[in-house]
Copies of this chain bind each other. A is one copy, B any other.
Amino acid sequence: MAALQRLQPVSHVAVSGGTHGNEMSGIYLVKHWLREPSALQRDSFSATPFLANPLAIERCVRYVGRDLNRTFTKQFLNSKAAWDEPYEVQRAREINQLYGPKGSAQAFDFLFELHNTTANVGACLIASVQDNLLPMHLCHFIQTHCTLGHYPILLYNLPDQEAYSISSVAKHGLAFELGPQPQGVLRADLLTQMGALVACALDFIDLFNKGTTFPAFETEAYRFIGSVDYPRHPDGELCASVHSKLQDKDFLPLRPGDPIFQTFSGEEILYQGHATIYPVFINEAAYYEKKIAFNKTEKCSLSIPALQRE
């Protein structure tokens, strides 16, 4: 068993809503906290709420020029301003100045990103594979203290891929991805659940700052391994929908030979892989343009050492 790990206390915490401008739970939570910030205050710190993509929020679209949450790579963050660059490239640089700079000692200690999906993921906790000690303890704390749902952990970046999401500008990050919720719709149940998740996460950080020892644990997570596009006609148009037997079955096992699509002419298309996978983000609205009908994950076991502040 690995020895107790020690990390610096967490004093600068931010919570971002509206990284995608039509994911309403985080947008309205942040707007509420900007009016009434007391819910984000703890003994040892106060979290800073902010709206990540104000122009997209105003228009109630995912993004204006390009997906902001794919724009926090060094390539974009270190680029020079250009008159014809997408709005989100400029906004990513601003966010990096405010809550980063990415990879620097001045960067915020923790950044939470609040998301919704049209897929039936429940309340999913998304961490980067590059950074998992503090976020994993946080996930485990949520799983054992938050009673409103089941909280699968999704490890998202490919090992050789630079983290590109908004939380990557801070030292540690975690995304809360709640669904199903249509784009542009605010459901009271998901709003309540997301608020409870953030409250639980801030409680964890406060306990951590106060010196609580969090014991080692084993946990299970889902690791992103790739994606599957919709079947298409030669001209690129969809010729099938996600199969009704796969729809809404996020995080459940998909075995070789299981149906995954049904064509508009009525044929079934079966999964041709060689091993059981766990699909997530099945039929997410924003992923049609990314040519993703669902993401593939595999289950993995993680052994996380005990944690205490320095």
Cα distance A61–B183 when bound, in Å?
A: 11
Listed residue (A60, A186, A242) with the most chain B CB atoms within 10 angstroms of its CB: A186
User: Cβ of B184 and Cβ of A286 under 8 Å apart?
Assistant: yes
User: Cβ of A283 and Cβ of B244 under 8 Å apart?
Assistant: no
User: Cβ of B288 and Cβ of A184 under 8 Å apart?
Assistant: yes
User: Cβ of B188 and Cβ of A244 under 8 Å apart?
Assistant: yes
**Which positions 159-205 of chain A face chain B at CB distance < 8 Å?**
180-189, 191-192
Cα distance A243–B187 when bound, in Å?
A: 8
Q: Which residues of B contact A10 (CB under 8 A)?
A: none
**Which positions 27-82 of chain A face chain B at CB distance < 8 Å?**
28-29, 31-32, 35-36, 60-61
Q: Judge whether A237 is part of the interface by a CB distance below 8 angstroms.
A: yes
**Which positions 201-245 of chain A face chain B at CB distance < 8 Å?**
233, 237-238, 241-244
User: Cβ of B186 and Cβ of A183 under 8 Å apart?
Assistant: no
Cα distance A140–B233 when bound, in Å?
A: 38
Q: Judge whether A143 is part of the interface by a CB distance below 8 angstroms.
A: no
Cα distance A36–B264 when bound, in Å?
A: 10
User: Cβ of A243 and Cβ of B36 under 8 Å apart?
Assistant: no
CB distance from A230 to the nearest CB of B (A): 9
A contact residues, range? 35 or more
CB distance from A181 to the nearest CB of B (A): 8
Cα distance A35–B181 when bound, in Å?
A: 32
User: Cβ of B183 and Cβ of A285 under 8 Å apart?
Assistant: yes
Residue in contact with A188 in the complex, picked from B31, B36, B184, B243, CB distance below 8 Å: B243
CB distance from A189 to the nearest CB of B (A): 5
User: Cβ of A28 and Cβ of B189 under 8 Å apart?
Assistant: no
Residue in contact with A183 in the complex, picked from B35, B183, B244, B264, CB distance below 8 Å: B183
Residue in contact with A241 in the complex, picked from B184, B188, B283, CB distance below 8 Å: B188
Q: Which residues of B contact A238 (CB under 8 A)?
A: 28, 186
Q: Judge whether A118 is part of the interface by a CB distance below 8 angstroms.
A: yes
Cα distance A171–B189 when bound, in Å?
A: 44
Q: Judge whether A247 is part of the interface by a CB distance below 8 angstroms.
A: yes
Cα distance A29–B31 when bound, in Å?
A: 39
Q: Judge whether A262 is part of the interface by a CB distance below 8 angstroms.
A: yes
Seed contacts A28-B241, A185-B283, A191-B241; 6 additional CB < 8 Å A-B pairs: A28-B264, A32-B265, A60-B288, A61-B61, A187-B283, A188-B244
